[in-house]
Amino acid sequence: MELSTLLHELQLSSSDKPLPSSSLPPITELLSQLRKKLIGASSDSEKSSLIGQIEHVFQRADPDWLFSQDAGEAELQAAYSGLVCALIGSAALPLCEDDCSSLPASAYQSVPSRAQPVCSALTALLRTLGKGVCYSGLLLAVAPPICVFAVTHFQDQAWTSSSSRSAAHSLQEALVTAGGWRDSPHLLMGEEKRGGIVGGILDVLQPQLTKENWHRCEAVKLVFSWTLLQVTRPSLSPHLPRLLPPSLLFNDHFRQENCILGVRCLHHIVLNTPAADLCQFNTAEVIYQALFKHLYTTEAAVIQPVLSCLLDLLLVLEKPPSALAPSSTPRKPCRHDDVLRLVLTHMEAEHKVALRHVYSSALPLYVDRMGVAVCRHLRRLERVVLGYLEVRDPPEETSRLKILEALQKTIRAAWPRVECRVAVLLRCLLKLLLDVSSDSQLSDPVRQELMNQTTLCIKQLDDVSKGRLQPLLLQVDSSCCSSDVVTCLQTITMTTDR
C-alpha cells in the first residue's frame, strides 16, 4: 500500500497520488489517527491489517518526515509512545481474576498470532530509528515499553509459540542495535554518559506491581525478575526503593514458584547492593525477617535458596562469629546462632531425602562461618552427625559426605570441646567404615570417597586426643573387617611417634 493511499483512508489526504514530503501532514497527526483506529478496531483481522499498514509506514516513509520535530520533541515522543502502547495493547495478555490459580493454556491461544505482527511493526520502527543518531531521545522514550513487550513474549510460556518467541527475540535484538548498546544489561544500566532504561521499565511495570494487581498478569513477575537479575552494582542501588517491594511481595506469596522467584530476587539485591545501603532504613533486617520465616517450611525447593541467601545477608547484618577477636567476656549469641540452631533442630527430625540433602549441603558452610562459636551448638550438632551418618543415602551419598565435611570443620574449629566426645564419634565413624566397605550398592568412586573422608575424621580425632586412639586402632582384628578398612586405619597408625 502506498503512503498516499493510507493517508487517504485515514482522511488525511484527498488525493490518491503520491504526495511530496512537503505536502505530507504532520507525523504527529498521522500517529494520533493510527492510534485511534487501532484502539477502535472491532476485530482481530482489522487490527492485523492496520498493524501491517503501520509497519509499511515505518519501512517506506522518509525518516526526515517520520521523525520531524516541527511540532516539538515532547509532542513527537508522546505521539510515538501512544502508538507504541496501542500496538502493544493489541497483543495484551488476559488477566487472572484472583491469585489462587493460573489461567488455562487455552486462554492464551490467540496471543502468539497477535504478538507476531506487533513485533514486526515495532522492529521496523526501531530499524528506521537506528539509522539516525539524532533520534536518541525518541528511542529512549519508546524503548522501555518495547523492551517489556519483547521480554514478555520471548519467554517460554503458555502465551508464546516458537514463532512468536523468535519474533520477540528479533525485536529485542533490534532494540539493542538501534541504541548502540552491547547487550541487554548494557541497555538496562547504560553507562556514565548515557543512562539505561531500567527506570523507564519500572515506570511501565509500576501500576501492575502493586499488592492487589501483580498476580493478575502472569508475565509481570517474569519481566520484573528478568530486569532485576541483569542490573548489578552500582546501578542497582538508586532503584532499590522500587525493586525491593515487589521482591518482598513475591517472597511472601503462598505459591511455591512465586516464593522461590522472590527469594532469588532478594538474593540478587543482597549481592549487588552495598552494605551501607542495605542497612539504611533497616532494609537488611526487613529482608532477614522475610527470609527467616521460610526456615519453618518443609519445601526443599524453598529452603535451599533461602539458606544460601541468608548466608550472604548475615554478613551485612553482623560480623561473622569466626572473625570476632577473642575476648574475656562470653560472646553473645547472634543471628548466625539463630539460623544454625533452627537448622540443626529441623535436621534432627527430618526424614525427607530432599530436605536432608539441602540441610546437609548447607551445614558445612554455616559451621565454617561460625568458627569457634560453633561450640554453642555442639550438643545438637553431635546428634545430627550421629543420626545422618547412620542412614544410607544412595547412590551418591550426598548427605553423608556433607556431614563428614561439617564434622571435619567442627573438629578444626572447636577441637578443645570435641575431646570429650571422641569416644562417641569414633564408634560412629568406625561403624560407618565397616558399613561402607561391605555395601555392594555403592559405586567404587563413592565408596572410596566416603572411606577417605571418614578416615580423615578419625585422624582428626586422633590429633585431638593427642594420639591416644592409635593403640586402640592397632587392636582392630583384621579378620572382622575388610582389607580396605585395615588399609584406612593403617594410614592413621603409621604416623610418627609423639
Answer yes or no: is 455 within a domain.
Answer: yes
Answer yes or no: is 393 within a domain.
Answer: yes
Predicted pLDDT at 496: 41
Half-sphere exposure of 363 (CA within 13 A, CB side): 35
Answer yes or no: is 196 within a domain.
Answer: no
Exposed, middle or buried by CB within 10 Å (0-12, 13-18, 19+), for 419? Answer: middle
Contacts of 10 (CB under 8 A, 6+ apart): 30, 33, 34, 37
CB 242 within 8 A of CB 206: yes
| 370 and 428 fall within a common domain | yes
Contacts of 179 (CB under 8 A, 6+ apart): 130, 136, 139, 140, 143, 187
Q: CA-CA distance, 76 to 72, in Å (whole number)?
A: 6
| 310 and 340 fall within a common domain | no
Question: 195: alpha, beta or left, given left = phi > 0 and alpha = psi -120 to 50?
Answer: beta
| 355 and 228 fall within a common domain | no
Q: CA-CA distance, 373 to 319, in Å (whole number)?
A: 12
Answer yes or no: is 118 within a domain.
Answer: yes
User: Whose CA is closest to 491, among 473, 479, 478?
Assistant: 473
pLDDT, tens digit, for every residue of 117-155?
999 999 999 999 988 767 888 999 999 999 999 999 999
| Radius of gyration of the chain, Cα coordinates, nearest whole angstrom | 32
Return the residue matching grid coordinates 539524532.
134
Q: CA-CA distance, 71 to 82, in Å (whole number)?
A: 15
**Of 180, 206, 230, which one is at a domain's C-terminal end?**
180
Half-sphere exposure of 306 (CA within 13 A, CB side): 28
Half-sphere exposure of 405 (CA within 13 A, CB side): 16
Return the C-alpha cell found at 472: 586402640
| 363 and 409 fall within a common domain | yes
Separation of first and last alpha carbons in the chain: 97
10-residue mean pLDDT profile of the chain (498 residues): values are: 65 52 77 92 88 91 86 91 96 84 88 96 94 83 97 96 97 95 94 87 96 92 97 95 97 95 98 96 96 96 98 95 69 91 95 95 96 94 96 92 97 92 93 88 91 93 86 70 79 60
Cα-to-chain-centroid distance, residue 329: 41
Q: CA-CA distance, 425 to 473, in Å (whole number)?
A: 14
| 314 and 354 fall within a common domain | no
pTM of the complete model: 0.92
pLDDT, tens digit, for every residue of 207-259?
999 999 998 999 999 999 999 999 999 999 999 999 999 999 999 999 999 99
CB 343 within 8 A of CB 359: yes
Contacts of 446 (CB under 8 A, 6+ apart): 395, 396, 397
Answer yes or no: is 209 within a domain.
Answer: no
pLDDT, tens digit, for every residue of 407-442?
999 999 999 899 889 999 999 999 999 889 888 888
Cβ contacts of 6-9, under 8 Å, gap ≥ 24: 6/53, 6/56, 6/57
User: Whose CA is closest to 337, among 305, 361, 371, 303?
Assistant: 371
Answer yes or no: is 489 within a domain.
Answer: no
DSSP label of 190: B
Answer yes or no: is 49 within a domain.
Answer: yes
Predicted pLDDT at 31: 93
Q: Got the DSSP string for 225-291?
A: HHHHTT--TTTSGGGHHHHHHHHHHHHT-SSHHHHHHHHHHHHHHHHHS-HHHHHGGGHHHHHHHHH
Predicted pLDDT at 17: 53
Q: CA-CA distance, 66 to 218, in Å (whole number)?
A: 35
- φ and ψ at residue 195, rounded to 5 degrees: -70, 165
Neighbours of 490 (CB within 10 A): 13
| 228 and 256 fall within a common domain | yes
| 294 and 411 fall within a common domain | no
| 164 and 50 fall within a common domain | yes
Answer yes or no: is 187 within a domain.
Answer: no
Q: What does the angle CA 5 – CA 7 – CA 13 come to, to the nearest 5 degrees? A: 100
| 372 and 449 fall within a common domain | yes
How many domains is the chain partitioned into structurally? 3
**Of 272, 296, 319, which one is at a domain's C-terminal end?**
319
Q: Which residue range is the domain that position 35 belongs to?
A: 1-92+111-180
Predicted pLDDT at 498: 40
Return the residue matching grid coordinates 513485533.
119
Q: CA-CA distance, 405 to 399, in Å (whole number)?
A: 10
Find out whether the peptide bond into 234 is cis, omega within 30 degrees of 0: yes
